[in-house]
Amino acid sequence: MECEKVREYISGYVAGVLDEGLKAAVAAHLERCEECRQIAKVERLLTAPPAEPPSSARHIIALTLRDLEAGAEAAKKVWNDLNALQAATEEAPIIKIAHALIEQAIRGGAAALRLLPREDSVSVVYEVGAHEAELAVIPKYIEAPLIARFKKMAGLDIAPVRESCSGEIAVRMGRKDYRLLVRVSPAEFGEEVDVRIALE
């Protein structure tokens, strides 16, 4: 089976809805083709079922944001105050989102996780092989405390950066140790966070 045809079936393959013949053909192709295998990894990463919280960052983010919506106006007013921002990095919803993003990136075999600030939102992008996939779009009011949380975990100052800075986060998952190399850089609409994931 050719790559182009296999890619038409990857969603169905990952979802487990293909008939046995097609499933076997796609599986055989994935064993031979690294590029299609990476595309299948991205598909798995993006479609992790909500019934499995450890591997469904999208679901966790959606539920957490729903809970935060009521406080959105208050949140927008306090992030300019570093003391309030420091306190926000310790709030359960922010910790939950940061941990869910890291956990899903590791479980999905992503090489990197990036938070890309836009004018009115933040895009969460995972890199798997040569492919990038947008996992979620987070409201702008979550940007400051979420980025501050990543900075804090990496041992960096939570104040806004004027030039790039780097730190590390040590993570243990499933009896494996990971080193997350965190780089925070100023960007047009805020701060960009690049997290490179390395197995120790």
State the CATH number of the domain containing residue 113.
3.30.450.90
Domain count, the chain: 2
Lowest model confidence (mean pLDDT) among 40-49, 75-84, 97-106: 75-84
Strands 131-139 and 121-128: what pairing? antiparallel
41 and 91 assigned to the same domain: no
Place of tokens 């979550």: 142
24 and 68 assigned to the same domain: no
59 pLDDT exceeds 80?
Answer: no
Contact 122, 182 (CB under 8 A): no
39 and 68 assigned to the same domain: no
72 and 40 assigned to the same domain: no
Note the pLDDT tens digit of each residue in 25-43: 999 999 998 888 878 877 7
103 and 190 assigned to the same domain: yes
Give whichever of 48-57, 90-99, 128-137, 168-177 has the largest mean pLDDT: 168-177
168 pLDDT exceeds 80?
Answer: yes
Give whichever of 7-11, 37-41, 60-64, 148-152 has the largest mean pLDDT: 148-152
Q: How many angstroms separate the most distant Cα atoms in the chain?
A: 60
DSSP states of 88-110 as a string?
HTTSHHHHHHHHHHHHHHHHTT-
66 and 13 assigned to the same domain: no
* pTM confidence score: 0.68
Tokens of 53: 């919280």
94 and 14 assigned to the same domain: no
138 and 85 assigned to the same domain: yes
192 and 176 assigned to the same domain: yes
Note the pLDDT tens digit of each residue in 102-156: 988 888 889 999 999 999 999 999 998 888 888 888 888 888 889 999 999 999 9
Tokens of 82: 């570093």
Query: What's residue 135's pLDDT?
Result: 83
Enclosing domain of residue 69 = 53-199
Rounded Cα distance between 56 and 59, Å, is: 5
Cα–Cα–Cα angle for 70, 140, 51, nearest 5°? Answer: 65
27 and 86 assigned to the same domain: no
Place of tokens 């869910």: 100
Cα–Cα–Cα angle for 12, 45, 167, nearest 5°? Answer: 165
10 and 42 assigned to the same domain: yes
Helix (H, G, I), strand (E, B) or coil at 111: coil
89 and 160 assigned to the same domain: yes
DSSP states of 44-72 as a string?
HHHT--TT-GGG-HHHHHHHHHHHHGGGH
Query: What's residue 54's pLDDT?
Result: 44
Burial of 74 from C-beta contacts in 10 A (0-12 / 13-18 / 19+):
exposed
- Amino acid identity for residue 3 in this structure: C
